[in-house]
């Protein structure tokens, strides 16, 4: 028997205009993300630069607006100069973040060119682990200065006449983590980040900067870390970062799906800490958030420890995502949209092969993982203004959370005010939800389509190279429009996209 839920939407209750960069992603030099992922010279589908055109096509299908690069933990031991100039002269390095051999066949210029071909922008991270402000400002000069200086002329000599024009820069990565090369205390990082920010913006005042926030809400220094580092950097940076990954424990599906509630709490706490620093400084500036690493991650962890060291592009962190994972990814996207007033950028980590929506086979094809679909739908239909919903429906208690809504939902009104899209996850493990949506402010709208992603036969179903379409969206048919009331049946454990458009007058 179906359970019931009611949703009301009011045009006056807007959360914020959505920054398209909320649908960003991430490429790090780890495993097969770069080599065998975006870059595989000699592959039948590689272009003149060795970039896989099938991966570029899928990236364009997702309409990824920005991609963080080159890390991640990798960046804290990276000398950017190793990755520029003639490929045959680039050094092979022992890479200590992931204990691999880095060939440096892809570097700054190459990735900027890949981004152009993939129709996306670059979010560049600088090394504040083993290096500091000097190397950071030199990289800004290399990437963004026109000509006539040491590093801009080096770029030109390397074959890139026009500047790359990279506008978003991360000041290091997860510097609160003891696993990080060059790990720092909050005081040490805050001072280093402030000095790096100062000289980077001297070099190019138009750039935006992201300071490293806590690596996750479980860190013992959270959220005191944000307070301390922002006390140094508040006037110099534009965003503070958040990172989180969610596992599944003890086959507890209700608790697994409820973890996006923790993501919402994480965002609220960091935003509150930012506002505390704002108040302390008597500032009028609002600090925004960059959730530049997020995903589900647990499948490959056991095998990672068995991976041999000092290999080049070994298979590493290659989670094969199940249908269940797609549901949590959907709820995490909904959470980001519900917090669009503070979260301006976000990066699903990562894009290809390493905990990623896109998978490839070396020398073979590329395919879509289950998590590809909620990411695709949100990126495609979630542009415009996020709308605050009033949701009344069943809830459940589980490990770590109480009163978890069975219906997790948000709506987006498009930029022209002519279309409205509801994104929803039915978390109920047993029953469908009959959802009644009051559309009183949207007179004259009709349903364009109802997209459903479900897999009642096997919740652990996954897409593989042998069965790339085992889990895929379908058209929903159980809906009815009655004036300004829309009734939709959402299957148990399902991701739903309900698209409406205003009827054109004839």
Please tell me the distance from the alpha carbon of residue 354 to that of residue 70, in angstroms, as a whole number.
13
pLDDT, tens digit, for every residue of 194-230?
A: 999 999 999 999 999 999 999 999 999 999 999 999 9
Report residue 62: phi and psi, to 5°: -70, -15
Token pair of 407, please?
Answer: 């219906």
Count structural domains, the chain.
2
Together in a domain, 8 and 85: no
The DSSP symbol for 292 reads E
Q: Coil, strand, or helix at residue 184?
A: coil
Together in a domain, 413 and 354: no
Please tell me the distance from the alpha carbon of residue 385 to that of residue 457, in angstroms, as a whole number.
36
DSSP string spanning 388-455? Answer: EEEEE--EEEETTEEEEESEEEEEEE-TTSSEEEEEEEE--SS--EEEEEE-TT-TTEEEEEEEEE--
- How many helices and strands (H and E) does the chain possess? 11, 24
Report residue 475: phi and psi, to 5°: -85, 130
What is the reported pLDDT for 306?
84
**Residue ending a domain, choose from 366, 381, 396:** 381
Together in a domain, 101 and 224: yes
Please tell me the distance from the alpha carbon of residue 256 to that of residue 239, in angstroms, as a whole number.
29
What is the reported pLDDT for 506?
52
Q: Is 16 exposed, middle or buried (0-12, 13-18, 19+ CB in 10 A)?
A: middle
Please tell me the distance from the alpha carbon of residue 469 to that of residue 462, in angstroms, as a whole number.
9
Together in a domain, 352 and 471: no
Crossing angle (nearest 10°) for helices 224-233 and 186-203: 30
**Residue ending a domain, choose from 381, 401, 435:** 381
What is the reported pLDDT for 505?
63
Q: Which of 40, 102, 121, 174 is catalytic?
A: 174
What is the reported pLDDT for 478?
95
Domain limits at 461? 3-12+386-502
Q: Which helix (H) or strand (E) holds 377?
A: helix 372-381
Together in a domain, 295 and 196: yes
174 counts as catalytic:
yes
Together in a domain, 340 and 435: no
208 counts as catalytic:
no
- Using alpha carbons, select from 273, 333, 338 the residue that is nearest to residue 16: 338
Together in a domain, 370 and 412: no
Together in a domain, 227 and 78: yes
Together in a domain, 372 and 450: no
Together in a domain, 315 and 273: yes
Residues of the chain whose pLDDT is less than 50?
none
Together in a domain, 422 and 283: no
How many CB atoms are closer than 10 A to CB 152?
Answer: 18
What is the reported pLDDT for 503?
83
Q: Which of 293, 318, 324, 413 is catalytic?
A: 293
435: domain CATH number is 2.60.40.1180
pLDDT, tens digit, for every residue of 459-487?
A: 999 999 999 999 999 999 999 999 999 99
Torsion sign across C-alpha atoms 32, 35, 36, 38: positive
Together in a domain, 297 and 330: yes
**Residue ending a domain, choose from 360, 381, 402:** 381
103: domain CATH number is 3.20.20.80
Token pair of 81, please?
Answer: 């100069």
What is the reported pLDDT for 232?
98
What is the reported pLDDT for 457?
95
Radius of gyration of the chain (CA): 23
What is the reported pLDDT for 307?
83
Q: Coil, strand, or helix at residue 250?
A: coil
Are 450 and 460 in contact by the 8 Å Cβ rule? The answer is no
């Amino acid at each position: 028997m179906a359970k019931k839920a009611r949703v009301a939407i009011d045009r006056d209750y807007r959360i914020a205009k959505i920054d398209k960069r909320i649908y960003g992603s991430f490429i790090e030099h780890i495993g097969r993300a770069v080599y065998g992922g975006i870059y595989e010279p000699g592959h039948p589908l590689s272009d003149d630069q060795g970039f896989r055109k099938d991966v570029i096509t899928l990236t364009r299908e997702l309409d990824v607006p920005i991609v963080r690069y080159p890390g991640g933990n990798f960046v804290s031991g990276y000398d950017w100069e190793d990755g520029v100039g003639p490929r045959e002269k680039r050094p092979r390095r022992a890479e200590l973040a992931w204990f691999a051999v880095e060939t440096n066949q892809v570097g700054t210029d190459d990735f900027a060119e890949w981004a152009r071909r993939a129709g996306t922008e670059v979010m560049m991270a600088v090394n504040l682990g083993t290096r500091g402000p000097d190397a950071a400002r030199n990289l800004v000069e290399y990437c963004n200065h026109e000509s006539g200086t040491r590093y801009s002329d080096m770029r030109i000599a390397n074959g890139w006449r026009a500047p790359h024009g990279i506008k978003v820069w991360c000041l290091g990565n997860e510097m609160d983590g003891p696993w990080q090369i060059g790990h720092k205390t909050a005081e040490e990082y805050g001072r280093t980040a402030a000095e790096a920010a100062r000289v980077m913006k001297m070099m190019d005042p138009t750039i935006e900067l992201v300071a490293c926030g806590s690596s996750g809400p479980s860190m013992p220094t959270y959220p005191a870390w944000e307070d301390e580092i922002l006390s140094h950097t508040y006037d110099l940076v534009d965003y503070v970062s958040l990172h989180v990954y969610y596992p599944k424990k003890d086959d507890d599906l209700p608790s697994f799906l409820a973890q996006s509630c923790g993501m919402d709490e994480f965002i609220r706490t960091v935003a509150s800490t930012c506002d505390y620093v704002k108040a302390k400084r008597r500032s009028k500036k609002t600090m925004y958030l960059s959730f530049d690493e997020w995903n589900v991650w647990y499948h490959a962890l056991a095998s990672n420890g068995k991976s041999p060291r000092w290999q080049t592009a070994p298979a590493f962190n290659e989670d094969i995502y199940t249908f269940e994972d797609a549901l949590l990814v959907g709820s995490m996207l909904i959470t980001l949209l519900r917090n669009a007033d503070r979260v301006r950028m976000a990066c699903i980590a990562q894009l290809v092969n390493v905990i990623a929506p896109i998978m490839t086979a070396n020398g073979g094809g590329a395919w879509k993982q289950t998590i590809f679909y909620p990411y695709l739908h949100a990126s495609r239909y979630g542009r415009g203004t996020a709308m605050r919903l009033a949701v009344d429906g069943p809830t459940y208690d589980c490990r770590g959370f109480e009163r978890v809504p069975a219906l997790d939902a948000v709506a987006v009104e498009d930029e022209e005010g002519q279309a409205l899209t509801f994104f929803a996850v039915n978390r109920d493990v047993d029953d469908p939800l009959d959802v009644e949506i009051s559309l009183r402010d949207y007179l004259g709208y009709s349903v364009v389509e109802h997209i459903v992603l479900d897999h009642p036969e096997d919740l652990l179903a996954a897409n593989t190279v042998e069965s790339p379409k085992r889990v895929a969206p379908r058209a929903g048919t159980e809906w009815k429009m009655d004036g300004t009331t829309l009734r939709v049946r959402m299957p148990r454990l399902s991701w739903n996209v309900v698209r409406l458009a205003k009827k054109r007058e004839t």
